[in-house]
Amino acid sequence: MVLVWRQLRVRYKRTFLGFFWSLFPPVAQAILWLIVVEKFFKYNIPNYSAYLFCNALAWQFINNTLLDGCSVMLFHMPLVKAFPMRREVLPISSVLSNLVHFLLALAVFFIYLRILAIPVRATWLLLPLVIVGLCICLLGLVMALSVLSVLYHDIQFIMDAFVLRALFFLCPVFYFSEMVGEEWYRLYMLNPFATYLTVLRQILLPPVQLPDGRPPLPLDLWQFVVALIQSLGLLVIGWLIFNRYKKRVAEWL
């Protein structure tokens, strides 16, 4: 927790708005998408801003966590070189610090839902399970990225310039999973992030009313279980990669 607090303190040191700066990118994205979609594509979806806000917050959590994971060892370089510590703590703290931002942003999102008079749903009880699964998935990737980025500095640039930009379009961030064609849907949902964003939207918000009349997808618990299994697999793989290279991190730095 000390490392989590340190990362949060360093990030917002000497800023006037502090944590609220972390809300600005997803809120700005949601507003921009809302203007573009409603004004140019003429989508008439009730409370569409809430769907975009939900997707933007989740994507911001994924994007920031993976980028921070690439640089966590460099960020804590003096600590890594000076102290014989369990280095697993560093990627874990990186995920947890971004989780704090996400949870605080969700609190603001729930306030927004009440402003829109969107009713409380029983499926909100599934939210902790979705967050845990998403964190497991991210932790597995961050553990691998944290050590590989020390050896190959190009990884961080590749993640920022290509991988995350491609992943943005492969996740239902500014569109809905229902819009993916049937012939591609099963392949599309093999992306665990697509599943988590879809499930998060389905449990927090009423079924979406698509403008072309297609029915909304029901909550697919089996697909969610598959995403959880994938996340556990990624965690095991990430842990194995981390343990293979963690002892060499100090000399690479």
Each residue's pLDDT tens digit, 140-155: 999 999 888 888 888 8
Average pLDDT over residues 129-143: 96
- In this structure, of 76-80, 106-110, 208-212, the range with the lowest mean pLDDT score is 76-80
Give the alpha-carbon dihedral of 203, 209, 212, 214, to 10 degrees. 50
Q: What percent of the chain has pLDDT over 70?
A: 76
pLDDT at residue number 190? 93
Over 70: is that where the pLDDT of 127 sits? yes
pTM of this structure: 0.85
CB count, 10 Å around CB of 63? 21
How many Å apart are CA 103 and CA 119, to the nearest integer? 20
Over 50: is that where the pLDDT of 15 sits? no
Over 50: is that where the pLDDT of 185 sits? yes
Location of structure tokens 């409380």 = 120
Location of structure tokens 């500014």 = 174
pLDDT at residue number 24? 63
User: Residue 151: which H helix or E strand, with range?
Assistant: helix 127-151
